[in-house]
């Protein structure tokens, strides 16, 4: 199923692999009251040309030589597919062009809110995007930390929308260098994400809402080629974000990594072939050179 998911060009076809209600073009399946809701997005930044290229496996590593793999976020879809009979889940659409599916879904939301939303859509291993991005407060971070995840700062994800309903987070699932032709997936990391453990362990827990869900007005562009950072989408909301501008974006020495989208000091970037690489992405790329 993993390879099948990695080879499906259209998000609609991925959404069709899941049972549930169609709401705002997303697939929603909530059958276990009081348990967390896991989410993944069905779209990728791949082009049709990428899907023409065959996958290559070497031990636990899968890549697509010459093309973008698209494990962001078909790896997340795969995890949810594995556990779909036993967990609450949402498969969203159009995350890569600004979380459009989750944004529309939140507007139409008519369910009891879960203890938390857990997005399976982060590169690497053991990262937990939570309170640093105002997805949740530290209480949810601590609870998920018990499963081996460590809080870091991330870029945009569907958690930027779901955090309006309930505390949210985004967890590593083993892909690296997403949005680039160097993308690869470590299946060993993917397989050890404790989905069922969290589904059971976080049941009926109460977590604080994030104090300032302020990242959710950012929009990122859909493809690697046209990717040029983020832009405001809610001009009328400018006032709300004054402190954010002051603390981070107002400081022009912070700019966005072209690989992972996270914000870092301009001076820390490596510039290569017209792209900006943040220190974390440099580290990952050099630690996992695959030819
Ligand atoms: Zn992505
Ligand atoms: Zn993603």
Look at residue 208 and tell me if it is in a domain: no
189-221 pLDDT, tens digit each: 999 999 999 999 999 999 999 886 554 444 333
12 and 145 in a single domain? The answer is: yes
Listed residues 138, 173, 201: the one ending a domain: 201
Which range of residues forms the domain containing residue 64? 2-201
Residues 137 and 29 in one domain: yes
Among the listed ranges 2-11, 163-172, 245-254, which one has the minimum average pLDDT value?
245-254
Q: What pLDDT does 186 receive? A: 97
Q: Give the ligand at the shortest distance from the Cα of 119.
A: 2
Does residue 54 belong to any structural domain of this protein?
A: yes
Rounded Cα distance between 154 and 215, Å, is: 10
Q: In this structure, are 36 and 178 located in the same domain?
A: yes
45 C-alpha to ligand 2 centroid (Å): 9
Residue linked to tokens 């494990």 = 71
Across residues 113-140, what is the average pLDDT? Answer: 95
**Within this chain, do residues 39 and 168 fall inside the same structural domain, yes or no?**
yes
**Is the pLDDT at 13 greater than 50, yes or no?**
yes
Q: Which helix (H) or strand (E) holds 83?
A: none
pLDDT tens figures, 82-97: 999 999 999 999 999 8
pLDDT band at 285 (very low <50, low <70, confident <90, very high): low
How far is the centre of ligand 1, averaged over its atoms, from the C-alpha of 40 (Å)?
Answer: 11
The tokens for 179 are 């949005």
The per-residue pLDDT for 143 is 97
Residue 124 within any structural domain of the chain: yes
In a domain, 130, yes or no: yes
Q: Tell me: do 30 and 156 sit in the same domain.
A: yes
Residue 110 lies in a domain: yes
| Cα-to-centroid distance, 208 and ligand 2 (Å) | 25
pTM of the shown model: 0.76
Question: Does residue 76 fall inside a structural domain?
Answer: yes
Spacing, Cα 89 to ligand 2 middle (Å): 16
- Do residues 146 and 229 share a domain? no
Q: Does residue 181 lie in a domain region?
A: yes
**Least confident span in 3-7, 35-39, 284-288:** 284-288
**CA of residue 15 to ligand 2 center, whole Å:** 15
Q: Which residue has the tokens 């809402």?
A: 209
The CATH number covering residue 185 comes to 3.40.630.10
Residues 197 and 239 in one domain: no
Note whether 40 and 174 are within 8 A (CB): no
Same domain, yes or no: 134 and 64: yes
Q: How many domains does the chain have?
A: 2
Ligand 2 is an ion; residues with CB less than 5 A from it: 72-73, 121
Does a structural domain hold residue 90?
Answer: yes
Q: Could you say which of 171, 201, 231 is where a domain stops?
A: 201
> 46 C-alpha to center of ligand 1: Å?
10
Main-chain phi, psi angles of 213, to 5 degrees: -75, 85
């Amino acid at each position: 199923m993993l390879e099948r998911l990695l080879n499906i060009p259209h998000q609609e076809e991925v959404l069709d692999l899941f049972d549930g209600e169609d709401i705002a073009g997303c697939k929603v399946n909530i059958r276990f009251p009081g348990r967390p809701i896991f989410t993944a997005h069905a779209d990728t930044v791949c082009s049709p040309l990428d899907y023409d290229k065959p996958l290559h496996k070497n031990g636990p590593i899968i890549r697509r030589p010459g093309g973008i793999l698209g494990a962001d976020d078909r790896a997340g879809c795969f995890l949810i597919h594995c556990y779909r009979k036993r967990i609450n889940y949402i498969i969203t659409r159009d995350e890569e062009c600004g979380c459009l599916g989750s944004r529309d879904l939140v507007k139409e939301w008519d369910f009891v809110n879960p203890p938390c939303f857990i997005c399976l859509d982060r590169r690497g291993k053991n990262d937990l995007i939570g309170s640093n991005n105002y997805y949740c407060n530290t209480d949810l971070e601590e609870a998920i930390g018990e499963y081996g995840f460590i809080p870091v700062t991330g870029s945009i994800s569907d958690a930027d929308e779901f955090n309006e309903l309930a505390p949210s987070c985004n967890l590593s699932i083993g892909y690296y260098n997403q949005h680039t032709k160097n993308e690869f997936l470590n299946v060993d990391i993917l397989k050890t994400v404790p989905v069922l453990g969290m589904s059971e362990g976080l049941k009926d827990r109460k977590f604080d809402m994030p104090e300032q869900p302020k990242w959710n007005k950012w929009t990122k562009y859909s493809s690697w080629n046209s990717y040029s950072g983020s832009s405001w989408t809610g001009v009328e909301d400018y006032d709300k974000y004054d402190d954010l501008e002051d603390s981070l974006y107002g400081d022009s020495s912070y700019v966005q990594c072209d690989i992972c989208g996270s914000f870092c000091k301009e001076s820390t970037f490596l510039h290569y072939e017209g792209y900006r690489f943040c220190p974390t992405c440099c580290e990952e790329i050099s630690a996992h050179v695959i030819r």
